[in-house]
Homo-oligomer: A and B are copies of this chain.
Amino acid sequence: MWDVRGEVLKRAVIEALGERTLRFSELRNEVEGVSHKMLTQNLRMLERNGLVDRKAHPTVPPRVEYTLTDPGRALRTVVDAICGWTHQHLGHIESARGRFGA
């Protein structure tokens, strides 16, 4: 449940950012298991939708920082609600799976 591709990754990014500002590579470490490509792709999407702010420093080597915008931070509430629900009902879900698989 809710563990379907793209969405989970976006959620993970939002959770990872929280109130912080992170560089691309930091984000990549934070959200484990994500490929270079997917992270880029999803960050572009989040940026495009105005949920994430991208700040590139014209240095060498490059340094790019990502931060949640206001709407992005507002989304954290929703993400937290999802996490809360999951935490609260995980037991039920797992036992349901157990009965089903049996």
Residues of A bordering B, CB below 8 Å: 1-2, 4-7, 10, 45-51, 70-71, 74-75, 77-78, 81-82, 85, 88-89, 92-93, 95-97, 100
Q: Min CB distance, A25 to chain B, in Å?
A: 24
Given known contacts A77-B81, A77-B85, A50 and B5 CB-to-CB distance under 8 angstroms = no
Given known contacts A4-B5, A4-B6, A47-B100, A93 and B81 CB-to-CB distance under 8 angstroms = no
Given known contacts A2-B7, A5-B4, A50 and B81 CB-to-CB distance under 8 angstroms = no
The answer to whether B50 touches A93 (Cβ under 8 A) is: yes
What CA separation (Å) do A82 and B7 show in the bound complex?
A: 13
The answer to whether B77 touches A89 (Cβ under 8 A) is: no
